[in-house]
Structure 1
């Protein structure tokens, strides 16, 4: 976490999201599922924070709360020191924008690309027609699309072109932060590289800050400056990207890295890992990774370890009682 006197661009404190719960009409208790469990995280201006983890770990729920598409059950989100959790949905939408995983289905099929891109300018920035036209011309050029595309509809575009339109829509509101939820997972490999290069250029030219949600560790390693690892709704490790991939502290992070397919490298043995996530309706006590962890002990099952610095410096934090030893 940030310990400097100046606030981080985004400060997340004890953020949680619970679904279900309460009681039915007949008084029976409804099942409750906690998708995000008290996440605290800082996002610094200009960085690309990669958020990784298995499916169902809470990555997308966290992303949706960051952009105001979902309401936290508890906790706060501060942007430049301003609390946006309560009543700040419009301000959040103006300054934090979202790029969806499926580029085609995220675009309204009944609207032209012009209408789609002008909507944030009209509703979030309050621009008149002349200003919208000028900005639209620059925006479509910035994402490497032709001006005639503005009069077409989403179904007329390939996945890569549609994702460029999705990126342009996010940038139309002139945000400070862009949350990218698996932005290249639905694209061909060659198109992935083009989109990632585009995102890198736009970040440099516009001074953007990214939150990059992905399960693809190779992509995250290539784009992220810092990485946060999620497991069962909690952050279990966070560190600068180079340090994270070189020497992970948490056994779960090591499992993810060792399991990632790499050309000409034999996949490491899983040491008996079942790959099964805990039951979200009946979470275990202590560290939720303990049943899968080869280093787990009784203290791991007694209480959830705190996310704190170990022996790798103040920027490398892990929620683990028995972190992996430093490589020789």
Structure 2
């Protein structure tokens, strides 16, 4: 089956070039050569620490930022630099901070009608009918349409943000930390809503988060990012049960589990390399207890390392852990 979304060599650099005096400006590479395929119906979970490039990747996927290198293709058709409109119609974004992502000067009906008007070209009567269906789909009363963003709680505002994404009738929705700013009880409600909408509307999700427990509950595939690149990927949940990359293992061991003592991260400093002076070898080497001189000299590719060919890691010395999840130590089968 052909991929709905194909990403090849996606790279984003900031800065660089020379000043008017001829001195070289510092350059930062936020995303370094990301490759992945996304098939219809998938939920790709992308995890990693703050500063690893998750949000920069998300902004490129929805056309809010242009890649420095690489390509994005939808249904096998590569998008050019002017393909932002095509991306906006097919790929929509749900932001991390639901309240600040809504224009405070506009009423909710104006906010929700904008994608219908400018992306779908719907007339006034068609937009009105669609508004009613959107409110019903996300569990909002029609009276919210006459109010302004500041009048809503975080959970209500996120439902509005989801409705705005649905208004463009997208195939893919990029969810950038969609529940991190919400209370735990509200998180569960929003996650349940997203699951229902996915089933009913045949949606495909890219779910970005630093919360491993949340990602494990929703993702069908996993990509782990560190220092701007994917260091581990799996076509199922196998990375949660038996991670290959030491960084994935560190994330899983660092995740809090109710009723269990938190496992020590083994003296990890938690410091990322200097983005303006990236190391020559593996970027995780200085934090990795398994690192050798070879790791510090060679940056490993994302090669096949797991028991399944779909489970790969960018590591010279991958882990060989028991088939169990650090988030749930008891052995279990795939869900």
Q: How does 1:1-328 map to 2 (within 5 A)?
A: 6-327=1-322
- CA positional deviation for 1:127: 0.6
The TM-score normalised by the length of structure 2 is 0.95
Deviations 1:267-288 (A, max 9, x none): 2222232111000000001110
Instruction: Report the equivalent of 1:3.
Output: none
Question: In 2, Cα distance between the equivalents of 1:24 and 1:311?
Answer: 47
Instruction: Give the conservation status (yes or no) of the 8 Å contact 1:309–1:317.
Output: yes
CA distance in 1: counterparts of 2:10 and 2:196, whole angstroms: 31
Distance, in Å, in 2 between the alignment partners of 1:315 and 1:220 is 18
1:149-186 Cα deviation digits (max 9, x unpaired): 11111111111000000000000000000000000001
Single out whichever of 201-210 and 236-245 deviates more from structure 2.
236-245
* Distance change (3 Å), C-alpha of 1:35 and 1:212: same
Whole-Å Cα distance in 2 between the matches of residues 125 and 240 of structure 1?
Answer: 33
Q: Distance in 2 between matches of 1:169 and 1:183?
A: 14
Offset, 1:70: 0.4
Contact 1:121 1:127 in 2 (8 A): yes
Runs of 4+ in 1 over 6 A off after TM superposition: none
| TM-score, length of structure 1 as denominator length | 0.97
RMSD of aligned residue pairs (Cα, Å): 1.0
Instruction: String of CA shifts for 1:216-246, please: whole Å, max 9, x gaps.
Output: 1110011111110000000000114421110
CA distance in 2, matches of 1:87, 1:242: 36
- How many residue pairs get aligned? The number is 323
| Distance of 2:320 and 2:240 partners within structure 1 | 14
